[in-house]
Each structure stands twice: as C-alpha cells, then as structure tokens.
Amino acid sequence: MDLVLASTSPRRLELLARIGLVPSRVAAPEIDESPLKGELPRDYVGRLARSKAEATTRAPHEVVLAGDTTVAVGRRILEKPADEADLRRMLTLLSGRRHHVYSGICVIGSDGKPRVRVVDTVVAFKLLTAAEIDAYVASGEGMGKAGGYAIQGRAEAFVRFLSGSHSNVVGLPLYETRTLLTSAGIALG
C-alpha cells in the first residue's frame, strides 16, 4: 500500500519521517475550513480531517492520511493568525492559561472507510510579559500556525504544563496516526 498525505504541512512530513514513513505523494485538498456556527473545536477538527481525506483522489492501492490541528480556549477556536495584531491577541489570550490543542486525523484505506480520531492535548503557558509577546511576534514564528505558536520552536519555553501528546501539538499525533495507518494496511516496522 502507498501512502498519500493530504496535507502540505512540512511539520506533518517531518513527523511521519520520525515513524519511518515517507508518503508516495502529497496532495493539497481544497476545502472550506471555516468553522460552522456553534461548532465545538473537537468536532471542527474531526470534520476537517475527514473532509480533506474524502476530497483527496485515492487509487485502490493507496491509503490517504489527512489531518487538521487547532488551538482552543474554551469554545473559542484559534485558527492561524491573520496578521501580527491577531497573533498578539492570541498570545495575550493564551498567556497564563490552559488551552487545548485538538488534532483530527482521518485515514481512508482500500476499503474506502474513513477512520477518524480526535486527539486532545492540554497545554498551559506561563504568564507572558509584553516584551516576550513582542519578541515572539517579531520572530515571525507564530504566523501560519494554529493558535499562533510553534511548540517545536521558541514557544516551547512558554509551556509550563503539557498533558497528552507532544507530537499532537506539533501537528500530528504519532501514536494514533500509526495505529490508524496500521489498521488500513500500511506496514510499519
């Protein structure tokens, strides 16, 4: 079986390489990623992962893997920041608080059946000073990242507590991904 990654995220490619997988191809499915009115973060990422997998063309010998990650404070979904002011708003909101990082993953194997899992990791940031927020915004690292931060970068120094999967916060929960891929026929050592 060949693996198709329905994501252009370099972080997901790096994470798959950690478990010895290199996709045979990468697809970039076009779907509307807007949250539905009243949609909870857990439901949101599960729906997006499934939609991305189903929007990806799959040959009979291919297994599709799609994922989506978001940061949530309560019911509020923090998507990728639109600009530096939005990033500053997100970091201020996360400062000194616990939040959830949800990843939805969907695997579709030769049987055509979508297998979906949602993983929740709880993260708590230290109380950030205005200077820390300014420096992080100036670094540019948080742009293009769900919730406005990259735990695999400078923002890891802000984390005072983490409960759950670290790889989930990076963008792909490896344990659950490995389990789903194995169940769909991808051979792993």
- pLDDT, tens only, 9-63: 899 999 999 999 999 999 989 999 999 999 999 999 999 999 999 999 999 999 9
Query: Domain containing 167: what range?
Result: 2-183
Does residue 103 lie in a domain region? Answer: yes
Q: Does the pTM exceed 0.75?
A: yes
Q: Would you state the pLDDT for residue 154?
A: 96
Does residue 104 lie in a domain region? Answer: yes
- pLDDT, tens only, 96-110: 999 999 999 999 999
Does residue 189 lie in a domain region? Answer: no
Does residue 77 lie in a domain region? Answer: yes
* Active-site hit among 2, 32, 43, 68: 68
Backbone angles phi, psi at 138, to 5 degrees: -65, -30
- pLDDT, tens only, 50-92: 999 999 999 999 999 999 999 999 999 999 999 999 999 999 9
The answer to whether residue 68 is catalytic is yes
Which CATH number fits the domain that encloses residue 119? 3.90.950.10
Does residue 188 lie in a domain region? Answer: no
189 has pLDDT over 80: no
